[in-house]
Amino acid sequence: MTTTNKIDLYLANNLEELNKRADDNPSIQKAKSSSCAQITHVIETIWAEAKKAELINDEERAYVLYMRLFACFTALKQAKDIANNQSSVQYYQKGALLWWEKADQLSASLKTRYDAKNAAKIEEERKIQAAIDEEASLEKSISPKLLYKYLNELKKNILLIDMRSTTDYDQSHMRTSACIHTPADLMNGKGWTSWGVESALTDQNACTKFKQRATYDYIVLFDDDSYENNLKAGHCLMGLKQAIFSFDRDVKLKHEPLILDGGYEDWMTYYPGENTAPLISRKPFGELRSFEVSYPDDVYVLEEVPADVTTNAQPEAATITSAIVPQIDRTRKPINSQKPESNIIESEELPIQQIEEEQQQQPTPIIPSVIVVKEQPEIPDRSMKPIQPIGPTSPVNQELPNIPIVPDIAAHPSSVTPIISNTTNISSEIPKLIDKNVNKNDSNRENIPPTDVSKFPTLNRGTLPIYRPFNRTVPINNTDEQYRKKFDAVTGRKVIIDTKSNRYITDIPENETNKTPIHITPSVNRDTKPILTQQTRQQIAYDYRAITDNLQVNGPTGLKNLGNSCYMNSIIQSLSFNLKLTNYFLSGDFNKDINTKNKFGSGGLVVKEWFKLIYLLWCQQYSYVAPQPFKYVVGTLQKAYLGTQQQDAHEFLVFLLDALHEDLNQATRPRIEELKSENFKTDRQLAEASKKSFLSHNKSIIIDLFYGLFKSTTICLLCSYNSIRFDAFAMISVPIPRVRQCSLDDCLDLFREFEYLRGDERYECSNCKRVSEKKRRLDIWELPKIFIVHFKRFRLQQTHYIKNETLIRYPISNIDFSHWSQTPSPSKYSLVAVVNHYGSMNSGHYTSFCNDGKQWYYCNDHAIRVAEKSELEHNVHAYLLFYSSLPQQQLRLPSIPN
């Protein structure tokens, strides 16, 4: 074929109609009673036309003509004078096979195109009907989401009347010429009349628009935060509405004026990029309007914490022994934060094994973990420390104590250790680093990034409910439930449970490791890059319901919201704008690295679906796609992502990086040897050995791009013994000062402060052999190529979480992070993406700012627009920052043969 683009479908709506069109032709009917010479003449004519149709990519006409050729050949074999013309049959015998083969190929392509066209038609009809129903439902009010749709998608002619104070309007207002300002005090205490408003408006442009109000499809009134059903008589919104609708006989409006539910503050929460500047809400945290999102009941425990902790921002723990900072399980957010305290205590006193069984149906994200270097017990971080401590780390070559999974609760009647929710590594060897002396009176654990950033705590201690999601166990192999893996958010470790013996084990026995992996994929030649054909490209586009409406030339492609999937969309866009990673997939280089036999991976399913999604996002042929196939694949690995409940974007990022890493992990996972501190003279030697050990069982482009190295320093306050260890990380979670405005440096300063370990956090010093108080601090030893920063915006206050709305000033380009790393990087960093969170912990919305090296874009699910740098500089909703030391590359799209 000489052309690439196929001619649009025009002859039929399906193959049945096309086959009928092929049969219903006078020439074909006449040929059935004609002589051999007449039939061969018809065959030659039709064959020539079929070749022409195929050359111009007219699949429908080519298919019809090939089907007619086959019908003519059948008529030729049944002609009256065939006995004298057997040579004609033999001549066209091979041609008939070719015709049938081409018709079969065309039918497959046409079926796909017809199905896509009919699906799009049905979807379009559904949208039209939904729009009709939506418009019919508009009586007295309109939601921010529907207003945004009417303004930007349906292009309705709407007059917006902002009735907030002049001070608030000047600070921030909607960025549209159709918005006019009519403050509530405009009439100076007089009654509202349409002519009174016209004469009081001093802005000529606003006055003109108000006089032309009858030409608008809708008029929308709003103030700070009013709802139509809460308005009382005498309210300025009701006064103006009645003046222009009920009492104005000269001007007839097309529709009753609508009240914007939630006012400007709710609009700002949903669409901050549609306004002139950010507006810091004056509402108390507890009064924030919730989005229509529900979450399952939460689990709390009562825990002793320093009294002053309640007055300082204490973001979630970030684990150092894990390669990724551990996450809070958002699937267990509280629906009702005002739980009776008695219920909270009862829920924590359930037997641990029973709790584990209840949680097995909700697998948690898995994240690469790290190495143990110097002998040193592990200590939990303050915000997530268990009441019952865990023992110190044992040497790797020491046999793991044979202990039951369920601890002896009777031995510790006053404190039950909760199982901590996981986010940790999937390396098969890390369980060998499990704590020694777990069967003894346990000590606390170490190397968890500090979250209690307060200074020396007071001795007054109070009781405070702490959010502590339970750990879950998931089967390593779906066909064998004997071995299950457990991930601990506090320790950052993975352990394996033998359910038959009810014991922890360090790894699956060797005779069990060769069993069939979770997913089996056909063996392919990894040396060849994946080549997209026109047919496979069309199939991918059909599977992802690619839409080409309002296509922005050379612009990025949006992602349809599949029902509270904005957390996923924002992370996908942010990762895809890291063009080094994107080119690795688009070029096909990933194909040779897929590890289908990794028992902790998906058999390559995640990376293959990621490639399809990334191709659609960057082929510049679609305005937006629906990532349903990708969501389904990740949902089979983590069931929380199958549904439509809101999830946390940070947790999804942790999960996705880990899933991609394990599908691409080329390491053979050798047995990890213990690194003894006396074998190393300097920190640098220890760091290099730790890094080498980690890389010996973790090798992928994810590790190469996203992983750096932490240094943890712990000092005994009795003997001043200084212990050091190094661990890998993929992102850091930093606390936020409780001020109105701060900088990224301020957050990193808090992250590096010493944390004092007192009371229940004490453990036995390996030098003086006494249980002592200690202080600990974390430093970044080596920065990754792509440096991800997570802001801990949520903290617990009494029985519910509140969000820290501090405006964080973060640098955008040409950034030198050397002063934050003990191994200076020669490269400067630039910001490539920002994930934003709007709303509260119980409900909210995610968007992202992304940069392709030339232009910033604001990605709000399917809607993408060009963004200004000033929007980033005043962004109060930043939740995740993606910095890269790599220059943005030119895209390497795969070649598609004609």
Closest CA to 320 of 467, 491, 496, 488: 491
Count of residues for the chain? 898
Three-state secondary structure of 93-132: HHHHHHHHHHHHHHHHHHHHHHHHHHHHHHHHHHHHHHHH
> Under a CB-based contact definition with an 8 Å cutoff, are residues 780 and 708 in contact?
yes
Strands 141-142 and 258-260, sheet pairing = parallel
Q: What is the DSSP string of 214-237?
A: GGSSEEEEE-SS--GGG--TT-HH
CA distance linking residue 396 with residue 64, whole number of Å: 71
Tokens of 848: 């992202």
Say which DSSP state 15 is in.
H
Q: Which residues pair with 474 in a beta bridge?
A: 485
- What residues contact 451, with CB distance under 8 A and at least 6 apart? 314, 315, 316, 317, 318, 381, 382, 383, 384, 735, 792
Instruction: Return the beta strands (E) in 407-507 as ranges.
Output: 461-467, 473-477, 480-487, 494-498, 503-505
Q: H/E element holding 72? A: helix 59-77
Q: Which residues pair with 594 in a beta bridge?
A: none
Closest CA to 463 of 304, 346, 299, 306: 304
Catalytic residue among 36, 72, 236, 566: 566
Q: Which whole-number Å values give the CA distances from 568 to 543, 591, 663, 674, in the listed order?
A: 18, 24, 19, 39
CA distance linking residue 300 with residue 349, whole number of Å: 11
CA distance linking residue 236 with residue 484, whole number of Å: 63
CA distance linking residue 852 with residue 868, whole number of Å: 14
Closest CA to 360 of 514, 497, 505, 520: 497
Instruction: Tell me which amino acid residue 399 is.
Output: E
CA distance linking residue 93 with residue 76, whole number of Å: 11
Q: What end-to-end distance do the CA atoms of the chain give, in Å?
A: 7
| 819 catalytically annotated | no
Tokens of 574: 């942010």
Catalytic residue among 845, 850, 862, 877: 845
| 765 catalytically annotated | no
Tokens of 727: 């661990």
Q: Active-site positions?
A: 566, 845
